[in-house]
Chain A
């Protein structure tokens, strides 16, 4: 936001590009969970673009991004976040975009030393090199402590008016935002995606180990954001809706998954992911009963829709808390 404003103040035409990887922490989960209905569901990138008065292009990179998450050349951060590879990938995509649309250079809001993995002094040139953007990549917020780039050398941008921010402290940014008249300076302090989240990363690692291969589809990673996930057996897991909004979201997946819900008592929708034999289905039904309002009842009637089979009804005893090992919870 600040980097863009700095360019706009130099009279440069800027348009924004926002890449959608499928892991972005935008309104999704808020949109799904009913209790979060009151929270604003604005898309941050659109909001920022509107504040700045620039166009924003949102680009779906879901498929291409898989390789970044699955095989990051530079490895992961503290969770499954391949930040350095991710930055290289995004700058490369932005570089392709500017060539196609006749723009001259790319800017990012990076600051040297701000992030342990992707924004270190020694990784800054890696991004330039591996993205192919080379010196058409300008970081206005720390340009003065980096070698001059093409836009600076050509005089398209006045280097003197750029900045020399460095390190994790955000005071200079906040001061600059004030000077620019930007009051709601929405910059996430943590990561910008679910891959930096420990719980989410754990579920992704579980998915890969259960499948025996590192692979995912958009539906997989969406489902990891929703519901309670339990893996009672290595070959199957269940996803339990935690409230109405999540149940409604999970309903959209009924055709693709074996699913269960209680009919004698109100309860959640449960999706079963994996291969389940009759004992497993019985166990899944008992778990479904456990998460329903009939959890204290002696028996609960569960309707089971097995993928590719006729629906069945099962009368089961709900599992008790003690019967559910904590390791089952992902």
Chain B
């Protein structure tokens, strides 16, 4: 199981979601990804996208206007 980082800073929604979607599609279940972003909309959209596709949000952090959303890839990744 590996841990990854995805940089989606300065991108506006839905780009961070699209990046997360395309990145996660290549990963096996159980891997984790920290998505870095600056658009506050991602705090809403990435978790919504995860719920729909069966992935899990394992944490979110905010520091100096930067967000880190941690995702654990689910079994039905596609």
Known: A43-B41, A49-B52, A248-B65. A31 touches B18 (CB 8 A): no
Contact (Cβ within 8 A) A31 B52: no
Q: What mask results when residues 18 to 60 of chain B are scored 1 for a CB within 8 Å of chain A, else 0?
A: 1001000000000000000001110011001101110000000
Distance of A4 from chain B, by nearest CB (Å): 13
Does B3 interact with chain A (Cβ within 8 Å)? Answer: no
Cα distance A57–B15 in the bound complex, in angstroms: 12
Distance of A299 from chain B, by nearest CB (Å): 33
Does A11 interact with chain B (Cβ within 8 Å)? Answer: no
Main secondary structure of the interface of A (DSSP, over half): mixed
Contact (Cβ within 8 A) B65 A56: no
- Chain A residues contacting B73 (CB-CB under 8 Å) are none
Contact (Cβ within 8 A) A20 B48: no
Contact (Cβ within 8 A) B48 A50: yes
Does B13 interact with chain A (Cβ within 8 Å)? Answer: yes
Contact (Cβ within 8 A) A55 B53: yes
Does A235 interact with chain B (Cβ within 8 Å)? Answer: no
Does A205 interact with chain B (Cβ within 8 Å)? Answer: no
Distance of A225 from chain B, by nearest CB (Å): 9
Does B10 interact with chain A (Cβ within 8 Å)? Answer: yes
Does B75 interact with chain A (Cβ within 8 Å)? Answer: no
Contact (Cβ within 8 A) B13 A26: yes
Per a CB cutoff under 8 Å, which of B13, B53, B65, B78 touches A43? B13
Main secondary structure of the interface of B (DSSP, over half): helix
Per a CB cutoff under 8 Å, which of A30, A40, A56, A60 touches B49? A56
Cα distance A18–B45 in the bound complex, in angstroms: 14
Contact (Cβ within 8 A) B45 A43: yes
Distance of B11 from chain A, by nearest CB (Å): 10
- Chain B residues contacting A58 (CB-CB under 8 Å) are 14, 17-18, 21, 49
Known: A55-B53, A248-B65. A43 touches B44 (CB 8 A): yes
Known: A50-B48, A57-B21. A252 touches B10 (CB 8 A): yes
What is A's interface to B at a CB cutoff of 8 Å?
Answer: 18, 20, 24, 26-28, 30-32, 37, 40-43, 46-47, 49-50, 54-60, 222, 248, 252
| 19 A-B interface contacts by CB (under 8 A) | A18-B14, A24-B14, A26-B14, A27-B39, A27-B41, A27-B45, A28-B39, A37-B40, A41-B44, A41-B45, A42-B44, A43-B44, A46-B17, A46-B45, A49-B52, A50-B51, A56-B52, A57-B21, A60-B15
Known: A41-B40, A43-B45, A56-B49. 6 other contacts (CB 8 A): A26-B41, A31-B41, A43-B13, A46-B52, A58-B17, A59-B18
